[in-house]
Amino acid sequence: LAKTTQPISMDSYEGQEVNITCSHNNIATNDYITWYQQFPSQGPRFIIQGYKTKVTNEVASLFIPADRKSSTLSLPRVSLSDTAVYYCLVLEGSGAGSYQLTFGKGTKLSVIP
Amino acid sequence: DAGVIQSPRHEVTEMGQEVTLRCKPISGHDYLFWYRQTMMRGLELLIYFNNNVPIDDSGMPEDRFSAKMPNASFSTLKIQPSEPRDSAVYFCASRTQQGTYTEAFFGQGTRLTVV
């Protein structure tokens, strides 16, 4: 299972773009990268998933370089309601652990007025 | 669909008592996960099921913990006997798998306090 490393915490002002980078040096060919968001007192919520290059949805963008050893979650123009913990996960695409969701410590994003 | 439903939302029990947490996954989902979250250890995967069959229970901390999924719409996580160190928020999640798309949906969690 590919290990992920991401910053423990980040601060940002409202209206700014926030980029959270995750390292996953031993990602395997069949693995996918996915990000979840967790608000206090709630369960995690899926944000975005990708395999390579760039993926964009209504919430965020995910940038994955060609070597796939890292990925960057980009949140455009954050607001106070984006204050949450953001988790980067690498999902095994095959084998017994296929798509098993294993969470790390995540990045605690605090948005400041 | 109402999403993943967990009950109770809060449970306070005395050490040594049996505790049963319940989960109703989203209809049609064939994977169900049980997680435990604490400040110290973060979000830990305890066990997961595929089509009601336990696939990996290596995260279950010890024999005091057991989980069942008697049918596709119901699962339980039981702790017997409970200990103060079991105090945590327990989440249930479910998903289906369509190709490589793997979005999982989490319940609101059960906050367990063992005194």
What are the tens digits of pLDDT across the range B13-66? 999 999 999 999 999 998 999 999 999 999 999 999 999 999 989 999 889 999
Which parts of chain A sit beneath pLDDT 70? Answer: 1, 93-99
The predicted structure's pLDDT at residue A14: 97
Closest CA to B15 of B76, B111, B66, B81: B81
CB contact under 8 A, A91 and B102: yes
B33: which chain A residues are within 8 Å (Cβ-Cβ)?
A: 101
Average pLDDT over residues B79-98: 93
Q: Does the beta-carbon distance from B91 to A43 stay under 8 Å?
A: yes
Distances in whole angstroms, Cα of residue A109 to Cα of each of A61, A63, B6, B54, B68: 16, 19, 27, 35, 36
The pLDDT value given to residue B100: 62
The pLDDT of residue A82 is 96
Q: Is B93 in contact with A43 (Cβ distance < 8 A)?
A: yes
Question: How far is it, in rounded angstroms, from Cα A23 to Cα B80?
Answer: 39
CA angle B101, B106, B109 (to 5 degrees): 165
Instruction: Give residue B62's pLDDT.
Output: 87
**Cβ neighbours of A97 in B, within 8 Å:** 56
Q: Is residue B104 less than 8 Å (CB to CB) from chain A?
A: yes
Torsion over CA: A80, A81, A83, A87 (sign): negative
Q: What is the CA radius of gyration of chain A?
A: 14
**Edge-to-edge strand list for the sheet holding A53-56:** A18-23, A70-75, A61-64, A53-56
Rounded CA-CA distance B19/B42 in Å is 21
Question: What pLDDT score was predicted for residue A93?
Answer: 66
Q: What is the pLDDT of residue A13?
A: 97
Instruction: Look over chain A and give the mean of its residue pLDDT values, rounded to a whole number.
Output: 91
Residue B98 pLDDT class (50, 70, 90 cuts): low
Token couple for B32: 């169900």
Using alpha carbons, select from A75, A76, A73 the residue that is nearest to residue A62.
Answer: A73
Q: In terms of pLDDT, which residue wins out, B7 or B56?
A: B7
Nearest CB partner across the interface for A101, out of B42, B45, B101: B45
Quote the pLDDT of residue B64.
96
B49 touches chain A (CB under 8 A): no
For residues B25 and A29, what is the distance between their CA atoms, to the nearest angstrom?
31
- pLDDT value of position A102: 83
Question: In this complex, which of A44, A91, A97 lies closest to B106 when CB atoms are compared?
Answer: A44
pLDDT given for residue A1 in this prediction = 63
Contact A100 B48 (CB under 8 A): yes
Q: Residue B104: its chain A contacts at CB < 8 A? A: 44, 46, 101
Please give the order of strands across the beta sheet that includes B74-79: B5-7, B19-24, B74-79, B65-71
Cα pseudo-dihedral A70, A6, B57, B49, rounded to 10: -60
Which chain B residues are within 8 Å of A8, Cβ to Cβ?
Answer: none
| pLDDT given at position A85 | 97
- The residue among B100 and B33 whose pLDDT is bigger is B33
B33 → closest Cβ in A34, A97, A101: A101
User: Could you tell me where the DSSP H helices lie in B59-98?
Assistant: none
Q: What number is the average pLDDT over the span B62-89?
A: 96
The answer to whether A74 touches A17, Cβ cutoff 8 Å, is yes
Quick check: B105 pLDDT over 60? yes
Residue B5 has pLDDT above 90, yes or no: yes
Q: Check if B103 contacts A (Cβ < 8 Å).
A: yes
* Tokens linked to A84: 């949450």
* A104 or B108, which is more confident: B108
